[in-house]
Amino acid sequence: MAGVSLKCGDCGTLLKSVEEAQEHAELTKHTDFQESTEAVLNLVCVTCGKPCRSKTESDLHTKRTGHTEFSDKTSETTKPIALEVAKNPSSTDVDMVDASSSGEPEEMVVPDVDAKLLEELESMGFSKERSTRALHFSGNSSLEAAANWIVEHENDADIDQMPLVSAKSKSEPPKPSLTPEERKAKAQELIERARKKKEEEERRMEREREKERIRIGRELLEAKRMEEENERKRIIALRKAEKEEEKRAREKIRQKLEEDKAERRRKLGLPAEDPTAPKPAAPVVEEKKSSLPVRPATKIEQMRECLRSLKQSNKDDDAKVKTAFNTLLTYVKNAATKPEEEKFRKIRLSNAAFQDRVGKLEGGIKFLELCGFEKIEGDEFLFLARDKIDKAVLMSAGGELNSAINNPFFGVL
């Protein structure tokens, strides 16, 4: 396919004719041009009719005038480029076009650059390819210009590729290089500039990291707050459920008492009690001191009170209460059924398991003492003497323990 434009091999600009290529060469000193099948854009503003040759030019026109509609007439104006034009025999660019149109393959060589500037760039740590490319495209003007070009084009995909130009193109003689003092000052300036740029980038990254740390910290605090709030709500709901359960248990006991009372009235042949009838006020009885002795609490009542105290003091830990009751039941059962074996009638008070299950709990040791156990050897042991075993007392103690274990309402009221 015939070429429809000329492309500058140095900067990539598309040109519509040889005349434009000559003007471009005079302005930029670029000498490497090739035919291209890529057409030059022709975007015409619908509002004012201004032609634009690139998307960048149309964007600038929109920014200046506010015109946003463009008509693409590239296909209408595209035509094969004419290379046969009157040319100046001394023009390097026209010689290049003639050579490319002759059909002969063009020899490509590495461009000539200032050897001293190249050596200085390599001593600063840049590769030979990158240094040569920077000197070539910056016109061999100065060390600073080459370094600036490297900074501006460090992200180019071909920055580390050796540049090639036509062997017939003639590069301008290199300009005089800087003096050693100037080169040293420029190198120091470039190094200082690169150092400042690196420090600024590190400060920016540190600010970003600090912002990220603050954001993560806030999220963690919020998550912790929500977790604590949910835990608080869960505890409140649990306590409310416990109170409701206790209320239902009390109501159940009250109903049971009412049913027992009604059953007793029925057995006695009394009419059922009317719940709506007002209850007679209890007569005021003048308190009198009785001369009769008060009956002391029986041993069974004392046992029951010990078990009630044990449950009340550990009402928030049902598992611990149940373990204590079962342990006491085991001691009582072994003493009653195997009285001949001393190991079932002797308990070491310092035993860790005994202390955890019974010894540390209120009423535990007192209950065993009511069963007949006594402290001996400087309160080191609880011992039930063989001749002091009272099976009736032990059986009563076992009955109280079974009642406490199986009755869910034991110790509630």
DSSP code string of 16-81: SSHHHHHHHHHHH----EEEESSPPP-EEETTT--EESSHHHHHHHHHHH----EEE-HHHH--PP
Q: Give the model's pLDDT for residue 217.
A: 92
Q: How far apart are CA 52 and CA 201, in angstroms?
A: 38
The average pLDDT across 310-317 equals 86
Q: Which two tokens stand for residue 75?
A: 């296909």
Q: What is the pLDDT of residue 168?
A: 64
- How high is the pLDDT of residue 323? 93
Burial class (CB in 10 A: 0-12, 13-18, 19+), 328: buried
Which ranges of 85-179 would DSSP assign to H, the alpha helix?
92-101, 115-123, 128-137, 143-152
What's the pLDDT score for residue 253? 94
Q: Which helix (H) or strand (E) holds 383?
A: strand 381-383
Q: How does residue 106 score in pLDDT terms, banded at 50, 70 and 90? A: low
Q: How far is 382 from 375, CA to CA, in rounded Å?
A: 5
pLDDT at 223: 93
Q: Indicate whether 413 pLDDT > 80.
A: no
| pLDDT at residue 275 is higher than 70 | no
**Alpha carbons 253 and 112: distance in angstroms, whole number:** 110
Most confidently modeled range among 38-52, 76-90, 117-131, 166-180: 117-131
The model's pTM is 0.31
**Which token pair is 277?**
């009838």
Q: What is the pLDDT of residues 22-47, one digit of tens each?
A: 777 777 777 777 777 777 777 888 88
Tell me what pLDDT residue 122 has. Answer: 87
Tokens standing for residue 196: 């400042």
pLDDT for the residue 248:
92
Residue 277 vs residue 243, higher pLDDT? 243
Convert the pLDDT of each residue in 133-162 to its tens digit: 888 888 887 888 888 888 888 888 888 888
Sketch out the chain's domains with CATH numbers. 5-77 (no CATH), 110-165 (1.10.8.10), 296-406 (1.20.58.2190)
